[in-house]
Amino acid sequence: MVAWQRNMGPHFISLIIDLDTEEPYIYEKEINGITVETMFSTMMELYIKHGSDAMRDVLHKYGPEMLNLLSNSKSVEEIIDKINAA
């Protein structure tokens, strides 16, 4: 929970509260000096260290790809399109 708070997790998530469902969700790349990549990487490391075996397996398998998608996309829809195209 502390890592989630320190890495601006709630701030990244709270940006979707007033989301216009007709528009693509363009996520913030950085909030208060914390990048979305840093937030995701830190949380991934913690879940690998403290999560279940199944969680660890999924994060080892898909985590680096998700991090790459976060880094190279502007919206959630763009990430989904890239996943579907793969």
Residue 7 buriedness (CB in 10 A; 0-12 / 13-18 / 19+): buried
Q: Residue 69 has what pLDDT?
A: 94
Taking residues 38-53, report their average pLDDT. 90
Measured distance CA(16)–CA(28) in Å, rounded: 10
Virtual torsion, Cα 70, 72, 77, 80, nearest 10 deg: -70
Domain ranges, ordered by start, for the chain: 2-18+29-85
Report pLDDT digits (tens) over 3-35: 655 555 666 655 555 666 677 677 778 888 888
Query: Are 43 and 4 in contact, with CB atoms under 8 Å apart?
Result: yes
What's the average model confidence in pLDDT over 42-53?
A: 90
Instruction: Please tell me which residue, 81 or 4, carries the higher pLDDT value.
Output: 81
